[in-house]
Structure 1
Amino acid sequence: MPSDESGREERTPIASLELLLDAQLEGRVRAEWEALSAAGLSSLAAHTSPSNRPHVTLLVRDAAAALPAAEHLAQCVERLLPLPIELSGLVLFGSGHRRVLARAVVVTEPLLRLHRDVHALAVEGRDSDRPHTRPGEWTPHLTLARRLRIDTATEALRALDEVPATDPATPMAGEIIGLRHWNAATSTVTDLSAPFPEGGIPPAGPRR
């Protein structure tokens, strides 16, 4: 069952719109997933589905709520992509003894514009939007672990420090290259960067 930003399980099936990274930056994030896993810590590396990819979530709402037609979403973002992206420090979200561990994304005006444009297009159904993804409340990030025990945070930092790609002299930077739609109610993911017929978000294969 998916978790929200606090690390708690979502009881209502959700849908989300997610930005995808170029292959090189995705590889660096995956290396951090693997480092956490190798240290015996919570990590998204535990989700072995091929569609479990590093991503930046733009919008989360109830799966039953309306979303714009797929072609309209694609048109909304394609004029802004590829978009430069840089990752920065580690952040913890949530409360209690388990937290979400993530890499913060450096906020830029083009990124905020893309976020605003998508939400402006997705007005219908916004009543169920999760607050942490709304304009003005959004903290862009890439999740590394969803249920990290707070007493293992030091171990997690140590494990990530040993990943060569996290050298401070080598910024974790790249490009946002695509958009996808995840529907937890049907366990499907749809690539909105690929050509598709008109008529809304099409069927897709299982995510996990």
Structure 2
Amino acid sequence: MTSPDNILLHLATEEEQQVREIFALLEERGFPTQHQTPHITVTFSPWMAGDVVKRAAELLPPVIPARFQRMGTVVFGTKRRQTVAWLLETSDELEIAARHISALNPDGRGPRWTPHLTMGLRLPRKLVPDYVRALDEVTSPHLRELTVVRAALWKPRLSELTVLAGEEQGVPRTTGRAENPSWQL
């Protein structure tokens, strides 16, 4: 299965590094390696429609950079593999923009958006309680807020990232590296 196109929000470099350090500490404790680039997904589709991308490029620049507050830890999934994430809240303006973009996506979830940052992707269900406990232990209590500095369209089949807002806005580039298949939450 090919990973879908995604409209993503990327963290500030320092905060992305903090999240990667948490991934490394969890791996040292014996948990599965997390390869995903830390990000917040706005919407995804097998092939992102041009009108969705165009509207995202209009709505996101006025609200980026943006602050997100960690509100808790959530578990997505009901089967053998589950995903652990930080549940996030942001400004009303960004929330409204993201819901509008999601509603335009014919493959999306309508006007719903649950902002989250995946901290453990597709974990075996039996590991989830220990993973959540370890995540709490290795995360600094001072890491309560995150800053998003860029919104981008990621096309994994082309390894192409096009910045829609923030750093390097409007510059398509081929990254040559795989980003997280964020459709897996």
The TM tier, using the shorter chain, reads 0.7 to 0.9
2:46 counterpart residue number: 62
Cα RMSD after superposing both structures = 2.5
Q: How much does 1:86 deviate?
A: 1.0
1:95 counterpart = 2:78 = yes
CA contact (8 A) 1:81 1:178 kept: yes
Counterparts of 1:38-117 in structure 2, within 5 Å, are 38-44=28-34, 47=35, 52-63=36-47, 65-68=48-51, 73-117=56-100
Q: Aligned-pair distance for 1:81?
A: 1.7
Change over 3 Å in CA distance of 1:172–1:24 after alignment to 2 = farther
* Alpha carbons of structure 1 residues 195 and 180: separation in structure 2 relative to 1, 3 Å: closer
Q: Could you report, residue by residue, the CA deviation over 1:74-123 in whole angstroms, capped at 9, with x for unpaired residues? A: 34211112212112221111122210111111254223122034346xx3
* Distance (whole Å) between structure 2 residues aligned to residue 161 and residue 205 of structure 1: 32
- Show structure 2 runs of 5+ residues with no match: 179-185
- Matched residue count: 176
- Structure number having the greater strand percentage: 2
1:1-208 equivalences in 2 (<5 Å): 11-44=1-34, 47=35, 52-63=36-47, 65-68=48-51, 73-119=56-102, 123=104, 126-129=105-108, 131=109, 134-136=110-112, 138-165=113-140, 167=141, 170-192=142-164, 193=166, 194-196=168-170, 202-208=172-178
Question: Alignment partner of 1:206: what SS?
Answer: coil
Counterpart of 1:205, as a letter, is T
CA deviation profile, 1:110-148 (whole Å, cap 9, x unmatched): 23122034346xx3xx3222x3xx323x21101112121
The normalised TM-score by structure 1 is 0.72
Counterpart CA distance in 1 for 2:170 and 2:94 is: 25
Query: Aligned residues: percent identity?
Result: 26
Measure, in 1, the Cα distance between the counterparts of 2:97 and 2:50.
16
The separation in 2 between residues aligned to 1:177 and 1:135, in whole angstroms, is 23
| Ranges in structure 1 where 5+ consecutive residues have no aligned partner | 1-10
